[in-house]
A and B are shown apart, each in its own frame.
Chain A
Amino acid sequence: MKTILVVDDDKNLRRLYREEFEAEGYRVVLASDGSQALEMMRNENPDLVIMDIRMPEIDGLEAMVRILKDRGRLPIILNTAYSSYHDNFLTWAAEGYLIKSSNLDPLKQKVREVLSA
């Protein structure tokens, strides 16, 4: 069973993503901000990270950069309410960049694509 780390500072969204991705057959671990995500990386060894960008203290982009330094090829999907980060070249390092939507199908599709590759 593949493990997905979901990083989001919104409690409700964490719950939604956990339920939806568990229903898809993944093990889901949650982090509420960047620093917690870095901690989880050591203990949970996820296969994929779904990362919010705008979070207090260590934001999603910084967390992503630190994770990629440690674990070079780990796929990270940025999932944010903001389209403006698209201009930030750091986002090019991510496997995907999705705008948050109540319709999770595109995100699930992306996760399937990445994990089956």
Chain B
Amino acid sequence: MPVTDNAMGSSLGPEMSASGPAMERRIADLTVLYEVSRALQGTLDEDRAFYIILTGITHGRGLGFNRAFVLLPDSSGEFLVGRQAIGPSSPDEAAAIWRELRDKRLSFGEILAQDPPPERKDFRVNSIVSRIRVPLSEDTHPLIRLMQRRETCLVSQGIVQPEGWALEPALTDLLETETFAAASLFQSGRSLGLLLADNAITRAPIGIESLRMLQIYAQVASASLQNMQLYGELMSRIAVFENANRALRDSHERLLHAERLSTIGKMAALLAHEIRTPLVSIGGFARRLARKTPPEDSRREEIEIIVSEVTRLERLIEEVLGYTRLSRPDFAPVDMNELIRSVLSTMRDSIDKGSVRAIADLGPGLPDVRADKSQLRQVLINLIANALDAMPSGGVLTIRTRRDGDYLELGILDTGVGIEREDWGKLFTPFYTTKPAGTGLGLAVVSQVIDNHKGSLRLESVPGQGSTFFIRLALDPDRGNLQPESPEVVHM
């Protein structure tokens, strides 16, 4: 589609009055612009828009160039990079593409409305475009200069017309042509990118009419590109607001939940305190009665039941209050092995009563761990009590400590009934229990304490074979950067 200079006026307008081939030419050009801008209006996807723009430039019923490239600033805003290209590598390939398009008998509008074909890595233009990468700050680079020139110009035999400065061979080698048209993409005084178009395959000259058409075409493309960018910015801002809104809603819900829990906690604490005083009376007098009742008296056993049940209730209250007042731990060096031995000795009665064999497999020479001793004591008591409950007909309880670099690992293993998989997730929830007489606070306290210590808690359990709770504590929890795991409870 070679175009001669004499057919081209200073603008499109006056030529509308021309007759004959010039008139047809104008109408054809306007049709191209109309079809392309209509296709562009139908998309907000940049890649699709570039496909439309490049197809418009290269199609025989469009601008009729052989190849076209679009260059844009990358997402960092630091480089001008090749974004997309269309065009054959050889006359044969060109003939094949055109034949295929002709056989499909699609109108120009229909072709523009097609989905872009998948990018062919073996197409030369794709390999060329992917190698274009120029720092935007390098304003002496010809591509940057061409982009900032803000008008369409012809590069002929490596010389930019009409100024006459030369392109270095490296660029023309890369583009595999010394002659091409360059149209700056810009809108509202802002450079958006650069369009390159050439006839590298047919070697047809690029006429001034083609150049002018490309210039108008570039303006249509710029407007559409800016629309898409503004739309993209708008969408990302909307997304920011939506995220902020969602976060606000989430934190509101968490707040409500925390408030509910805190109310439950306060209620529980209030009730526990109120119940404690009458329990002291009941239990205290029962103890007096028991002491005054000789062992052979049948009432003695009944009184003992009152005493032990009151003791159980008092322990339960201690647990509830203990959970509601768990706060920031009071850190001091703790000898974990010694703490374990002390807890095992205070729980000796319950261990023996349950026909459980307790094994303290304590790593020798463990360093002290910085921790809240009374909170850790509670953790051990709760986990051991759980292990004992899990072995109603006896078994083996193993408490194991090991050092692992900057961490201390504690394992509490039982050979009990195990924990069903579906119960694992709920285990650490306050007030959840599988035991008829449990408060559902034992493991919640454990989880809360380990959380307070920025440690992690892991459960392994095989129903029918036993459970193991693993606790991992940093030797010095204040050196938080050594803590690779999140303080969350890990459920395995």
Contact = CB atoms under 8 A, between A and B. Distances in A.
A100 B277 contact: yes
B288 interface: yes
Interface in A77-106: 81-84, 99-104
A102 B288 contact: no
Given A102-B282, A102-B286, A83 B325 contact: yes
Interface stretch (B65-73, B201-209, B307-315, B378-386): B307-315
Nearest to B269: A84
B287 A103 contact: yes
Interface in A1-21: 10, 12-13, 16, 19-20
A20 B285 CA distance: 9
B277 A102 contact: no
A53 B273 CA distance: 12
A81 B275 CA distance: 9
A16 B318 CA distance: 22
Contacts of A81: 273, 276-277, 280
B244 to A, nearest CB: 38
Contacts of A84: 325
Interface string B284-305: 1111100000000000000000
Contact of B288 (A19, A83, A99, A101): A19
Interface in A46-85: 81-84
Contacts of B325: 83-84
A109 B410 CA distance: 35
A13 B277 contact: yes
Contact of B281 (A16, A82, A99, A103): A16
Given A12-B281, A83-B325, A102 B310 contact: yes
Nearest to A16: B284
B279 interface: yes
Nearest to B272: A81
B321 interface: yes
Contacts of B318: 99
B276 A100 contact: yes
Contacts of B279: 102
B361 to A, nearest CB: 33
A102 B280 contact: yes
A14 B282 CA distance: 13
B284 A83 contact: no
Contact of B287 (A13, A99, A100, A102): A102
Contacts of B307: 102
Interface in B401-443: none
Interface in B253-277: 273, 276-277
B273 A102 contact: no
Contacts of B321: 83
A103 B277 contact: no
A35 B311 CA distance: 33
B274 to A, nearest CB: 8
B436 to A, nearest CB: 23
Q: Which of B281, B286, B287, B288 has the most CB of A within 10 A?
A: B281
A54 B94 CA distance: 96
B477 interface: no
Interface in B23-72: none
B88 interface: no
Nearest to A79: B280
A11 to B, nearest CB: 9
Q: Which of B278, B284, B310, B311 has the most CB of A within 10 A?
A: B284
Q: Which of B277, B285, B310, B314 has the most CB of A within 10 A?
A: B277
Contact of B285 (A10, A16, A82, A100): A16
B466 interface: no
B284 A104 contact: yes
A82 B284 contact: no
B283 interface: yes
A16 B288 contact: yes
B464 to A, nearest CB: 38
A101 B284 CA distance: 8
A16 B273 contact: no
A66 to B, nearest CB: 24
B273 A103 contact: no
Given A16-B280, A104-B284, 12 more contacts: A12-B281, A13-B281, A13-B284, A16-B284, A81-B277, A81-B280, A99-B318, A101-B280, A101-B283, A102-B284, A102-B287, A102-B311
A-B CB proximity, top 6 nearest: A102-B283, A12-B281, A81-B276, A16-B284, A100-B280, A102-B284
10 contacts: A12-B285, A19-B288, A20-B284, A81-B280, A82-B273, A100-B280, A101-B280, A101-B314, A102-B282, A104-B287
